[in-house]
A and B are shown apart, each in its own frame.
Chain A
Amino acid sequence: MGGQEKLLRDIGIVDFVLVELTEYLDTHPFDRNAMEYFNHYARIKHQMSREFAQKYFPLTKEMAESDKEWRWGMAPLPWEGACG
């Protein structure tokens, strides 16, 4: 597994935790333990997304600052797959 594929997989793992924690916290808005988990993984997700954008391509428009070419538009699309 290459560095790009591995980092993308790790972002997927961390974001899945965030999605599930979000849905839990929506109906348990005073659970401080869950909020600590959320804050921790949200910080990690942000760092990983920034690293991914610097090394490969931006996953979000927030990470798409460009000068020579429009990096958001040049990025591969997720349905292409690695074996395309």
Chain B
Amino acid sequence: MWNYEKRLQFPVNIKEPNAKLAQAIISQFGGPDGELAASMRYLSQRYSVPYREVAGLLTDIGTEELAHLEMVGTIVHQLTRNLSMEEIEKSGFANYYVDHTVGVWPQAAGGIPFNACEFQVKGDPITDLTEDMAADGAAL
């Protein structure tokens, strides 16, 4: 089970909306190397790890990734609030807006929906850890 703290891991206070930037940053929310994929990767892989301390570590890392997901979602939200119709059209945000308005939906920058195929769970700790390193290396 999980507990929630009503604060961000690091504060986010964006003053000026920028829909164009939001469309790039949303990939870190629901894209192939985003925080949602990272969290689900660790929280799914942990069950089959034969070492308790490593399975516990994957749980704590997967939890921290959820805190990252919340910061990135907040950035997208604050970049897209109070947008005018003119800004929506001018910034190329109109296609996203048609389906989601200013809701934050997990997708890649190119519009591809979040998908569990972004990560792998093989039940073998060396294989899974190798995949973790590739994924977290891509996100750096």
User: Which residues of A are at the interface with B, using a C-beta cutoff of 8 A?
Assistant: 5, 8-9, 11-12, 15-16, 19, 22-23, 26-27, 29, 57-61, 72, 75-79, 81-84
B3 within 8 A of A: yes
Q: How far is the CA of A2 from the CA of B81 in the complex (A)?
A: 24
Name which of B5-13, B21-29, B87-95, B116-124 contacts chain A. B5-13
Q: Are B61 and A78 in contact (CB under 8 A)?
A: no
Q: Which residues of A contact B11 (CB under 8 A)?
A: 5, 8-9, 12, 81-82
The 8 Å CB contact of A57, one of B6, B9, B53, is B6
Instruction: Identify 17 residue pairs between A and B in the complex whose beta-carbon atoms are under 8 Å apart, listed by A's number.
Output: A12-B8, A12-B9, A12-B10, A22-B60, A23-B61, A26-B60, A29-B53, A58-B6, A59-B5, A61-B4, A75-B6, A78-B70, A79-B74, A79-B78, A81-B11, A81-B14, A81-B74
Q: Are A59 and B7 in contact (CB under 8 A)?
A: yes
B137–chain A nearest beta-carbon distance, Å = 18
Q: Which residues of B contact A15 (CB under 8 A)?
A: 5, 9
B77 within 8 A of A: yes
Q: Are B7 and A11 in contact (CB under 8 A)?
A: yes
Q: How far is the CA of A19 from the CA of B57 in the complex (A)?
A: 11
A41–chain B nearest beta-carbon distance, Å = 15
B134 within 8 A of A: no
Q: Which residues of B contact A58 (CB under 8 A)?
A: 6
Interface secondary structure of A, over-half rule: helix
- Which A-chain residue is minimally distant from B81 (CB atoms)? A84
Give me the 8 closest cross-chain CB pairs, A-B, nearest first. A26-B57, A79-B74, A81-B13, A78-B8, A82-B13, A83-B13, A59-B5, A83-B15
Q: How far is the CA of A31 from the CA of B110 in the complex (A)?
A: 46
Q: Are B6 and A27 in contact (CB under 8 A)?
A: no
Q: Are B64 and A19 in contact (CB under 8 A)?
A: yes
B34 within 8 A of A: no
A-B contacts besides A9-B11, A27-B53, A60-B4, 17 pairs, CB < 8 Å: A12-B9, A19-B9, A19-B60, A23-B57, A23-B61, A23-B64, A26-B54, A27-B57, A59-B5, A60-B6, A78-B74, A79-B12, A79-B78, A81-B74, A81-B78, A83-B14, A83-B78
